[in-house]
Structure 1
């Protein structure tokens, strides 16, 4: 199986590569459109700020490639947020894959949300073998409000989308590569889709 991790300079890709390797698979880090299109599974990670990450995607032309992919694609954290229509962070137009807006937590909440929190209302094969209220690791200041495409939720002052799905595109707000056994299982489920 060919697994491509999209490399566009937006941090944290090595830890995802190691997590995939622990599951017995090899992944390539790539910014090459043809290599990404030829992969069986694509992981779209991201740590950082939305507008600068979007500029990096545009500089490589990948902003046109990602929405056209037909194989299973998993957006992680900022990767998931960039797959939405719009992100308040940096007033950023996203890739428009998910019909959703990314907004900032209110001033009532300590941001960023850093640490372990629970996911619930799990509604996808991505969560096979994962129990309701499982803990996952999150680091973020912006979130997707619950919407029709939500497949898991988390509560942090407000209920929000911690996972989302549309057709072959999946997104998780949490970091599966840092979420212990549960995160590893979710990553494995994605690779088995």
Structure 2
């Protein structure tokens, strides 16, 4: 009907032969006025393991007006467990500027009384991708978290994990990894080199 926001058309065969672009098309997303989704259901079934995953989004929002920061939130249920997520980042146009780093200022996901937090920065130097993330995980019921993903996890009481993850074209490094629970404290560093074919 005439009330649609979008119009789609299919070019004729003659048009297709004469409208090939001379230069590669480019697309840059610079702003989002407002995105609002409600009652969205996603389902995935792994035929090999027989495991099914269901995610129902009760409400999701995102906004990034020109010159303003990106914000968003999600509220829903994953495999019958409540999920809440929220994030704040730099304005979208910085993603298209090679000389400007893009910062995730605050991102949190809460599922099964476990909260995952992340902040970080992505640099986009010409021919090179690099960045870092500060991550933190804190919860009180590891078995319930595991059940959400059909994984059996031990009951260790309250627990927390934090680390800084650095990404460069040649390696991924996790430094100052600290895991704490009622029964133990573990500290470590990890580094993983990337083959040339997998580098950013």
Give the alignment's TM-score, normalised by structure 1: 0.26
Q: Which of the pair has the greater relative contact order for Cα pairs under 8 Å at 6+ separation?
A: 1
Structure ID, larger Rg: 2
Which structure carries more strand by proportion? 2
Which structure carries more helix by proportion? 1
